[in-house]
Amino acid sequence: MLYINRINGGGDVMIEIKNVSKAYKKGIKVVNNLSLTIKDGEIFGFLGPNGAGKTTTIKMITGILEIDSGKILIDGKDISKDAINAKKRFGFVPDNPDMFLKLKGIEYLNFIGDIYDISIDERKERINKLAKEFEMQEVLNNKIESYSHGMRQKIVIMSALLHQPQNLILDEPLTGLDPKSSFDLKKIMREYTKEKKAVFFSTHVLEVAERLCDRVGIIDNGNLVFVGTYNDLKNQFKEDLSLEELFMEITEKNDKK
């Protein structure tokens, strides 16, 4: 059973997922007829057990994986039919930050700046600001392969923020971050939505989702089993439980079907 409480009120649609499915081996669907709408000013948390379909969904949203059926629009741009324009409208942090390891941090950020045609003066200002926020000033001239996992996560987050996109799409972005960087990223996410932008992120840290998200979606075995606010979820089960406890209850019920 799908429990849905749609977001009310105005706001422009930033990410729209319409009846999207994806199957791998033997036609088994890892994402089944998924529909979601994310509006500006919203932090949306995408939750689910390991293997539930979170990363597959994010890879389809970002155009890394092809969609078997359905449609995904980013600011009205179809990720399948108009990929270049759609991809200009989001910044993406994957679940694995191990990329471009032979480049220096500053070389990688300048490479991203070139892709998005950011002027030299503008990118220098943005890089300096981000490096200060994430305490990366001293290591930008070092190769990424010398970075710790947390530092690699920071440089990828910086690259996603560099072109100041309308949407942030993040797959487990807090993994490996030190407490200060985690705090700073959550602050940035909140500030982003104040500018009529949207944040879509997956996380297994349910306490963070409970405190940070305007709404959450729960996916289990490829099926969306809940969409709404934390209060909606508590009202649905008529229990004053934590998000973690409610998450366990709803996924266990779904697994028994």
Torsion-angle region of 212 (φ positive above 0: left; ψ -120 to 50: alpha; else: beta): alpha
Report pLDDT for 236: 77
Nearest to 228 by CA among 254, 209, 241: 209
pLDDT at 5: 45
Which string of b and e fits 145-160 if b means at least 16 CB within 10 Å? eebeeebbbbbbbbbb
What pLDDT, on a 0 to 100 scale, did the predictor assign at position 227? 93
**Residue 18 forms beta bridges with which residues?**
71
Helix axis angle for 105-115 and 149-161, nearest 10°, is 20
Q: What are the domain boundaries of the chain?
A: 3-89+167-255, 96-164
**Which two tokens mark 165?**
């996109």
For the chain (257 residues), the mean pLDDT of every run of 10, in chain order, is 45 92 87 95 93 93 96 96 95 91 97 96 96 94 94 93 95 86 88 91 87 93 91 77 80 66
Could you tell me which residues come within 8 angstroms of residue 88 by beta carbon, excluding any fewer than 6 positions away?
116, 163, 165
Q: Return the pLDDT at 164.
A: 93
Distance CA 7, CA 103 (A): 42
* pLDDT at residue 256, rounded to an integer: 59
What does the alpha-carbon distance between residue 210 and residue 105 come to, in Å, rounded to a whole number? 33
State residue 68's pLDDT score: 95
pLDDT of 128 reads: 97
Range 3-89+167-255 has CATH code 3.40.50.300: yes
